[in-house]
Amino acid sequence: MEIRSQKLSEFFNIGRDRGWDVEKQAWTVHSLVNPEGRVLTLGDIMEGIPADLPLAKSGNRYGYPPLREQIVRSQRYEAEADDVLVTSGTQHANYLAFATLLEAGDEAIIESPSWEQPKVLSGAILDESELKAVCAVADRIGAYVVSDEIYRGLEWDGALSPSVVNLYERGVTTSSVSKTLGMSGLRLGWLATRDRAFRERCMELKYYISLHQQSRLDEVVALAALQPARYWELVKKTMDAARTNYELVAAWMKANGVFAWVPPGGGFLSFPRYDLDLPSWDLCVRLLDPPYRTYLIPGSCYGHEGHVRLGFGPGTPADTIRAGLAAVDRFVADHRGRPPRP
């Protein structure tokens, strides 16, 4: 089997090669791509982790039972712990769902622009009536609805968006703590569905790929972070921390004259369009060079030219956001041969 490089992965590699100091573990460019929440440390949740924890592999092919119970409670799923399959991140959960459901010749409907894996970015939110309508259409033909809900809980209007596992028997929710809590180094996610037969098929595929060797340390750290009261307190702190960056980007979008956006309903990613006679790949490569040293993702990586991906997660300092946006203004002025905006 041959897996070819995707344009998004290729540009991630370009950005990291040009802008990441491996020794210092720090960006040397103004990184405007971060989609994650505050990066938590073990100290933030240490009281829930026993010091004498045996670092053995997990012994349950579905995932540590108390963790599965905690996932249901913290995410407010109207489901049972047995409806949850713990995975090595949301991408693993998505893979299991699609690999289990799709056969040669099958069709899948996906949104665009989206994460390259199944083709899942936009920060758009469906309210309950809209998601129910999608499920009703799927139900008429017995289709499944796979919903990557990794940003659920990061809604800017404060209202928790619906979860498909709560609304539809063949609804499949995938998620993790990577974006809400900035714990992307913890390779742990989950798949939740009330369709037990489907969950069992996913488990068999997971077991074939990796047996039940889920990291015991990851499971215990996630268990501590997902205690419901603590989890939602941490999510609130994430949103409070992100608001400064959101407001900086929103103000810049109103004033810059070249880039314009539809503000994301949730999460920390945006996909603004721009008015320049320059392909997005060339734009973003040139922005990485001195004197700009700013990292954006080309819209062409998602199949949408004339756009860029801009992230403003609270893991990026506000000063970096300001400097990066100012560097973009400088690039635009240089490209057009005009003085930069005051």
Give the confidence band of 179 by pLDDT, cuts at 50, 70, 90: confident
Predicted local distance difference test score (pLDDT) of residue 196: 94
Clarify whether residues 21 and 140 are in a common domain.
no
Clarify whether residues 89 and 213 are in a common domain.
yes
Q: Is residue 212's pLDDT more than 70?
A: no
Clarify whether residues 180 and 284 are in a common domain.
no
2 within domain boundaries: no
Predicted local distance difference test score (pLDDT) of residue 44: 76
Predicted local distance difference test score (pLDDT) of residue 120: 38
- Tell which of 231, 263, 284 closes a domain: 231
Clarify whether residues 242 and 267 are in a common domain.
yes
Helix/strand/coil (H, E, C) string of the chain? CCCCCCHHHHHHHHHHHHHEECCCCEECCEECEECCCCCCCHHHHHHHCCCCCCCCECCCCCCCHHHHHHHHHHHCCCCCHHHEEEECCHHHHHHHHHHHHCCCCCCCCCCCCCCCCCCCCCCCCCCHHHHHHHHHHHHHHCCCEEEECCCCCCECCCCCCCCHHHCCCCEEEEEECCCCCCCCCCCCEEEECCCHHHHHHHHHHHHHHHCCCCEHHHHHHHHHHCCHHHHHHHHHHHHHHHHHHHHHHHHHHHHCCCEECCCCCECCEECCEECCCCCHHHHHHHHHCCCCCEECEEHHHHCCCCEEEEEECCCCCHHHHHHHHHHHHHHHHHHHCCCCCC
- Tell which of 202, 231, 260 closes a domain: 231
Q: Which of 15-19, 48-52, 255-259 has the lowest mean pLDDT?
A: 48-52
Higher pLDDT, 197 or 342: 197
Clarify whether residues 112 and 223 are in a common domain.
yes
Predicted local distance difference test score (pLDDT) of residue 52: 78
Q: Is residue 73's pLDDT more than 70?
A: yes
176 within domain boundaries: yes
Predicted local distance difference test score (pLDDT) of residue 214: 74
Give the confidence band of 342 by pLDDT, cuts at 50, 70, 90: low
Predicted local distance difference test score (pLDDT) of residue 121: 38
Q: Mean of the pLDDT values across residues 268-296?
A: 96
Clarify whether residues 75 and 27 are in a common domain.
no
Clarify whether residues 292 and 155 are in a common domain.
no
Q: Mean of the pLDDT values across residues 153-174?
A: 94
CATH of the domain at 137: 3.40.640.10
Clarify whether residues 171 and 265 are in a common domain.
no
Q: Mean of the pLDDT values across residues 103-132?
A: 72
Higher pLDDT, 217 or 202: 202
CATH of the domain at 311: 3.90.1150.10
Q: Is residue 35's pLDDT more than 50?
A: yes
Predicted local distance difference test score (pLDDT) of residue 297: 95
Clarify whether residues 49 and 194 are in a common domain.
yes
Q: Mean of the pLDDT values across residues 308-323?
A: 94
Predicted local distance difference test score (pLDDT) of residue 291: 96
- Tell which of 231, 254, 288 closes a domain: 231
57 within domain boundaries: yes
Clarify whether residues 70 and 12 are in a common domain.
no
Range of the structural domain that residue 178 is part of: 42-231
Clarify whether residues 22 and 59 are in a common domain.
no
Q: Is residue 1's pLDDT more than 80?
A: no
Q: Mean of the pLDDT values across residues 137-154?
A: 93
Q: What's the mean per-residue pLDDT of the chain?
A: 88
Q: Is residue 54's pLDDT more than 90?
A: no
Domain count of the fold of the chain: 2
181 within domain boundaries: yes
Give the confidence band of 83 by pLDDT, cuts at 50, 70, 90: very high
Higher pLDDT, 338 or 94: 94
Clarify whether residues 33 and 47 are in a common domain.
no
pTM (two decimals): 0.82
